[in-house]
Chains A and B, each alone.
Chain A
Amino acid sequence: KAGVTQTPRYLIKTRGQQVTLSCSPISGHRSVSWYQQTPGQGLQFLFEYFSETQRNKGNFPGRFSGRQFSNSRSEMNVSTLELGDSALYLCASSSGGPDEQYFGPGTRLTVT
């Protein structure tokens, strides 16, 4: 079956702009989790969506938001971009319980 896909793969934005990232999970998976990966902080959990509802939220400011559609595809949005938002953003899909998370290739966001 097809793996998790993310678009775009690379993005360059300037401070103050906003950005929307997209994630398409494995068919049948209802849970999509988003992570931010940076060299200094490692992999940090942003939020999780399950059946179109936000089920968990990490310790990130309100500028980070997301949503999930009825086909389980998910988007995350970052408003008023800051230099510190430069990172690799990974999404992962799963069945929803404590089981393997399948990661997408990530979106590399650079804020200048």
Chain B
Amino acid sequence: GENVEQHPSTLSVQEGDSAVIKCTYSDSASNYFPWYKQELGKRPQLIIDIRSNVGEKKDQRIAVTLNKTAKHFSLHITETQPEDSAVYFCAAPVLVGYSTLTFGKGTMLLVSP
């Protein structure tokens, strides 16, 4: 099955700075890479995802890049705001083509005003 590693485990930035979280995966056949945000006491929610046929996807202040050769993908948040403070998880399907996910350990992002 798939194995996903995520770095860093914590990330502190000032409001307005950019934040980058990186993940690596093990299965070269993997083709779907979502990112979930979990605020304190709440359920994880999808914020952006990317499929293997594209190298980058953007949604306002959030972007995800994928390097299939190196088997890593990254989340980029620009102009961070205090409400971006949360735990972010990268993931990939446990098995190619299936919906169940293997998650990274998570990154706690703290944005200071």
Contacts and interface: CB of A to CB of B under 8 A. Distances in A.
Interface string B72-111: 0000000000000000010001111111111111100000
Interface majority SS on B: helix, strand, loop or mixed? loop
A45 B94 contact: yes
Q: Lowest 6 CB-CB distances: which A-B pairs, in order? A: A98-B32, A43-B103, A48-B100, A103-B43, A94-B99, A33-B100
Interface residues of B, number: 25
B76 to A, nearest CB: 20
Contacts of B105: 42
B45 interface: yes
B49 A100 contact: yes
Contact of A98 (B43, B97, B102): B97
Given A42-B106, A45-B94, A98-B93, A106 B101 contact: no
Interface residues of A, number: 24
B101 A33 contact: yes
Interface string A66-109: 00000000000000000000000010001111111101111000
Interface string B16-55: 0000000000000001101000000011111001010000
A24 interface: no
Given A42-B106, A90-B43, A100 B34 contact: yes
A45 B99 contact: no
A90 B44 contact: yes
Contacts of A90: 43-44
Contacts of A104: 43
Contacts of B104: 42
